[in-house]
Structure 1
């Protein structure tokens, strides 16, 4: 059932034993990934970064922003930070074990994630849930499936439990969160802010997720969740979005169902802001890397979000490595690289597409995106957590 691999090892700190000064960027990246570093960090690390870290540290990417935060006409820059090597090695080992075991290939497994280590505290471990409903449907015993999952692999603890709830949908889950089926479209100036309500025209509503830019271009676009359009693909359908006054805000240009994002180009008279709307002031000026979101999760930090339905909430980060199997009627199950945070009070219908952020600087005008919130997910304690794709998961699009 569960696969094992006794040869997994991670020793990123051994990069200090190599002659990195003579390495090209490509060779250094290959060396770092071979030792266990995340590609999203390794691709940006230079020999100077390695030299600047002490023997018990490794450099990683913290995230990306503009040289002048919020100004897309300035250079896109990568911020790096040195972290304890033993902490990072432990995290990367657990992630590699999760990848090698491929527990998500067990049909009855509904959730797998690496819970990051606490700095100076508990080690990383892998958390797995087996859905009782799915086991019953396949005429298996959920407890037996849990018993077949190893308790430890390559020195990493594996906590497997039975989930009695996931896989069931309530009638409330099937209700749309707004109704604008007959839209009398108006065309006049408007602004799209992160956190504001948006409407699809098909009976659902959601939340704008923030201002994004494609590659090095300085033309602003905005992002939200793909599932609000229930599987429609922007390259085959006329997908539009409106505000509460029926103003046509823009048209879809790119997206993906499994990553659950849809990017819109604004109409000519619509401006796109990076300032969160609704009772609080926060400017989204960049995005964190997967490595650093795991650092924040290991430290027990909390993210913030502004959504159409629940408004402003905060909740503790759990992981940046979540796999969720079942996402219900929204389509595109089996999602990887999911950030999980908070609890059931932090999210409800209509909040889909909102961005979770964490403050970067000392002021409200420097906050970086963490994830694009897609929904809530039952865990084994029968409580809900928020899930959504991490902001490193959208190719070529940058928050700011």
Structure 2
């Protein structure tokens, strides 16, 4: 009985082996391993050109001259000769204050001066007569000296009267309020007919210079040697101002081009930054006091630089690298990052004209087979920037 079971098991094993061999002989050729699938990628050539290098920061627009117009004499505001928002020039008449009491004081001082001058004239005639008589002892020496003292007293009184006239004229000039700077009139705080006092701190309105204008900004303290070199250069460093306060965005409107004008005399120890200022010509008045802007300073020009889009360069554990196309495969090439911004990177380690992978790197490794897609660059960019659902 035991031998019979063993025979049956052996017969079953032989049947299975025979079936497996028959299937192996008769299997179709398609059962062979398929060739590796090519990875679809997009590529771009390494460009070589001169590239300006920039440093970016956030700045605040401020006026070079901003003046709050305040009264310098007490009195009633009789006339306002400018409107809010009006452009004025230095010396333009802005407002007038009632000047009648000051004019009366001025006339009184002039009358006193005329009286003293008449008295002085009589005293001078008498002094001359006394001098002639004193030669023959016609008058005493004491009388002559007293007359000389009277003349000196009247001269001093005349000088005092002239000083009072000058002071009254200064006070009278304050009743005509003129613009000390060229600029734009702000919102007024008082109307005609109000009584103004010199102790009022609010003022009538402000006049703010708009053109030219300045932008104050802060940069890391490591930029100090660069800023010093730019400030001492033969030609002032170019500074561009853009709308908005996002240093990683190039989509803001360009508001103006200026030049670096000064660096602050100390570093902020709390933030580790250095303040600087740039001056802008602002004929279109696109820059406005208090506005936040992005500034870009041209620090240097990289000659014959190798330029690629930011999407080309990949970052490894301790270095940057790119995928370079060789025939229908890719190879990993380490590169050195020389300069980067939101629009382009300058690298070393490749050559001008090399084809590098710009999209599809996530599925690549050294030696991967690739299929180069042929979409135009503008379509590729549009596809990448399309909003996700």
Bin for the TM-score computed over the shorter chain: under 0.3
TM-score (ref. length: structure 1): 0.20
Q: Which has the higher helix share?
A: 2
Larger radius of gyration: 2
